[in-house]
Chains A and B, each alone.
Chain A
Amino acid sequence: MLRKFSRVVSINQTQNTINKQLVSKLQLAYFAVDPQMNVCACSSNLTDYGFPQLECGEPIDDQIDFMIGLDAETELDLPVMSSPSGIPISINMMPSDDQLTVLISNASVATEQRQMLQQAANENELLVEKQKKLMFDLETASIELEKKNTELEEASRLQTSFLSGVSHEFRTPLTSIIGYTNLVQKGIEQMSRQIASRIAKQDSFSYLNAVQRSSKHLLSLVENLLDHGKLDSDEIFIHPKPTDLAELFDDVELLLAPLSQTKDIELNVAFASSEGNYVILDDSRLRQCLINLVGNAIKFTDVGGVELLAHLDNEELRIQVKDTGMGISADNLEKIRLPFYQVADTGKVGTGLGLTITERIIDLMGGELAIESEVGSGTTVRFSMPAPQAPQEEHFSNLAAESNDSLKVLLAEDDSDIADLVTMMLMERGVNVTRVANGALAVEALHNDKFDLVLMDIHMPIMTGYEAIAELNKANIKTPVVVMSASGIEADQKKAVDLGCAAYLVKPVSVDEIIAVAKTVMIDD
């Protein structure tokens, strides 16, 4: 309608007279500007819409804001604009050769309708969007919930199977203990009734051996469980000390051979070294790992054999445990590292903790466990760990092994609580102990007297252990020194080794450990 009307106006505008009656009837207002954007004509009713009365010859953009930025050549239809008075207006700009005519008309009716329609449509669309978002959130939440549920089910399944596994594991050795003790009791009854026969005695011995085996197995189960508790609370400590690797692997073979014999499979343990057998590492933790891994391999192998290969080279101990057992599927390879996880349908029992603990211990000892496996053809487990050479080779004193009487030890320790205990315990083993409370007194004692061994604390007043050792080195006193310190820090251990100490023991230290170390570090000359 506006279009039609504007054409009428454009025909008439050249005559420079506009039908004022028509203009006022439709509340039509107008103004015109020249090509320089100065006002050249205007209607008087512009003020009805809140616009100022225009001054001819003056720039339009000083007088009407919406003209700012516009030029005289562009044709424009602006269907709805709020006028300064608040009345919605429609604007029509029509350029011609010598001027731009701007028509302003009342758009109240159309705008009111549009406003209602648009408000309703947009509110509706916002609601739909909100609904979609809620649906999405709901879906995400339900997926999350389902996942949590599955995880919980899995955890509870693992725990149940763990409990049944554990109770089974405990029942087997317990039954055997009860059974064999019964037999021993009967044997003893027989012995008391008749004259003790050799056969009854021998039977009793083998029964007692069986009881012992079962008890040891139970003990290791309990230890595994305890270790797992410690795993959770990060409380497993590694205590490296001088260790004879050849002996350690012999031990492992002796311990596990009976297990492989009962299954009628081969067990082959081989240790090779290019630098001697004597290294510093935590032998009991390494033993624990090997028993776990080789024990597992035997457990899951029914035909063929298990091979434990160890190689010491360049202060690194590399270990491989290979079996010809049932193998592990790729899917299960991931899961067996989880605590309590056990592959279903293997017909094997256990706590499902061994591998988790082993992996953690190997990690703490500076190694990494790698498992390769193929279903049906077997599994290979590999790891390596640093194994620095012990400062002195083993010189085992047979004399000292049988009796500690020959041992004369100087104990330098400022903490009287520790000194009292160590002194008493060593004395009870027949060791001759002299006590001093600082490094200076220790150096003095060694100048005046001969000792087989010095047990040296590090943190001491007046002169520290390190300073005392340096003094001894200077004075060329060669008595072996074993450092005892509460510090497990590697740098401290390295310092001790650099100073030529025979061994480094981390407190708490047991007396057995002290005696064992004493024996290994004493030079048999």
Chain B
Amino acid sequence: MTDSPQIQEIKARYKASFPEKANMLSGFMRVVSTGGELTILREELHKLAGSSGMYSYDDISSLCRKAMQSIDNDQLENLHNELSQLINLVEQS
């Protein structure tokens, strides 16, 4: 089933927000490298995991979840890698 023009428009709008999202995530790279507070990053990842999944960007969604897990388990090295992968992925999507 193809999407209606309205749905297509909503999806395009979501896609257009990716550069802004990538930019926002890049801002957190510094926080991660300097061992800063990660609560807000976790919130943002949670949101992105939900919305990207709904828009069928499954790889973005699952990477968000992985990064959230890394925050929960205090694995900062993994988090650093996942976040930079995520930024790449969001930029390229």
Q: Are A507 and B53 in contact (CB under 8 A)?
A: yes
Q: Which of B14, B43, B62 contacts A235 (CB 8 A)?
A: B62
Question: Is B88 positioned at the interface, with any CB of A under 8 Å from its CB?
Answer: no
Q: Are B61 and A508 in contact (CB under 8 A)?
A: yes
Q: Are B47 and A415 in contact (CB under 8 A)?
A: yes
Which residue in chain A gives the minimum CB-CB distance to B13? A420
Question: Is B34 positioned at the interface, with any CB of A under 8 Å from its CB?
Answer: no
Q: Which of B6, B17, B58, B61 contacts A417 (CB 8 A)?
A: B17
- Bound form: Cα–Cα A21–B52 in Å: 111
Q: How far is the CB of B81 from chain A (nearest CB, A)?
A: 15
Contacts of A415 in B (CB 8 A): 47, 50-51
Chain B: interface size category: 20 to 34
Question: Is B7 positioned at the interface, with any CB of A under 8 Å from its CB?
Answer: yes
Q: Are B49 and A507 in contact (CB under 8 A)?
A: yes
Contacts of A418 in B (CB 8 A): 50-51, 54
Q: By the criterion of a CB under 8 Å from any partner CB, how many residues of chain A are at the interface?
A: 19
Q: How far is the CB of B15 from chain A (nearest CB, A)?
A: 10
Q: Are A486 and B14 in contact (CB under 8 A)?
A: no
- Bound form: Cα–Cα A121–B17 in Å: 83
Contacts of B4 in A (CB 8 A): 424, 428
How many A-B contacts at CB < 8 Å in the complex?
57
Which A residues, 223 to 277, have Cβ-Cβ distances below 8 Å to chain B? 235, 237
Q: How far is the CB of B48 from chain A (nearest CB, A)?
A: 9
Question: Is B10 positioned at the interface, with any CB of A under 8 Å from its CB?
Answer: yes
Contacts of B65 in A (CB 8 A): 486
Question: Is A509 positioned at the interface, with any CB of B under 8 Å from its CB?
Answer: yes
Q: How far is the CB of B46 from chain A (nearest CB, A)?
A: 6
Contacts of A424 in B (CB 8 A): 4, 6-7, 10
Contacts of B47 in A (CB 8 A): 415, 459, 486
Q: Which of A421, A422, A428 contacts B14 (CB 8 A)?
A: A421
Q: Are A417 and B53 in contact (CB under 8 A)?
A: no
- Bound form: Cα–Cα A185–B10 in Å: 41
Q: Are A486 and B17 in contact (CB under 8 A)?
A: no
Q: Which of B7, B17, B43, B54 contacts A507 (CB 8 A)?
A: B54
- Bound form: Cα–Cα A459–B68 in Å: 15
- Bound form: Cα–Cα A237–B58 in Å: 11
- Bound form: Cα–Cα A459–B62 in Å: 18
Q: Which of A237, A428, A509 contacts B54 (CB 8 A)?
A: A509
Question: Is A155 positioned at the interface, with any CB of B under 8 Å from its CB?
Answer: no
Interface string of B3-45 (1 = CB under 8 A from A): 0101100110110010000000000000000000000000100
Contacts of B55 in A (CB 8 A): 417, 421, 508
Question: Is A76 positioned at the interface, with any CB of B under 8 Å from its CB?
Answer: no
Q: Are B53 and A486 in contact (CB under 8 A)?
A: yes
Question: Is B56 positioned at the interface, with any CB of A under 8 Å from its CB?
Answer: yes
- Bound form: Cα–Cα A304–B47 in Å: 54
Q: Are A425 and B7 in contact (CB under 8 A)?
A: yes
- The listed residue with most B CB atoms (<10 A of its CB), out of A415, A420, A457, A487, is A420
Q: Are A428 and B6 in contact (CB under 8 A)?
A: yes
Which A residues, 485 to 525, have Cβ-Cβ distances below 8 Å to chain B? 485-487, 507-509
- The listed residue with most A CB atoms (<10 A of its CB), out of B46, B49, B58, is B46
Which B residues, 36 to 93, have Cβ-Cβ distances below 8 Å to chain A? 43, 46-47, 49-56, 58, 61-62, 65
Pairs across A and B, CB under 8 Å, 10 listed: A415-B47, A415-B50, A415-B51, A417-B54, A418-B50, A420-B10, A459-B46, A486-B65, A507-B49, A508-B55
B residues in contact (CB < 8 Å) with A: 4, 6-7, 10-11, 13-14, 17, 43, 46-47, 49-56, 58, 61-62, 65
